[in-house]
Amino acid sequence: MKSYLAKVVVTLKPSILDPQGVAVRTGLHSMGYSDIDGVRLGKFIEVRLKAEDEAAARAMVDEVSKKLLANLVMERYEFTLAEEVAK
């Protein structure tokens, strides 16, 4: 089996209001960064896993993202996958 590192980014869908993003944007404006038009917050998750090959690893990360890491009603996700080199 090979070891992989997946980097999953989960963000709110564009149609969902992001009150945390609005709060951060307001704070940035109060600090003088008035040129910032918008801020949206999300989650970054690293997943280390073992799989027979890259296709199996991708399938596993996709499955866990759909089942646990993202709420597909409100959120979307994307990920990158890289094989980890043994140390």
pLDDT band at 21 (very low <50, low <70, confident <90, very high): very high
DSSP-derived secondary structure letter, 4: E
Range(s) of the domain holding residue 66: 2-83
What's the number of domains the chain is made of? 1
62 pairs with which residues across the strands?
none
Q: Token digits for 58?
A: 């991708």
For residue 47, the SS3 value is: strand
pTM of the prediction?
0.88
What CATH number has the domain bearing residue 15? Answer: 3.30.1280.10
What percentage of residues in the chain have a pLDDT greater than 70?
99
pLDDT digits (tens, 9 = 90+) for 30-67: 999 999 999 999 999 999 999 999 999 999 999 999 99
The reported pLDDT for the residue numbered 87 is: 65
Q: What proportion of the chain, given as a percentage, has pLDDT over 90?
A: 97
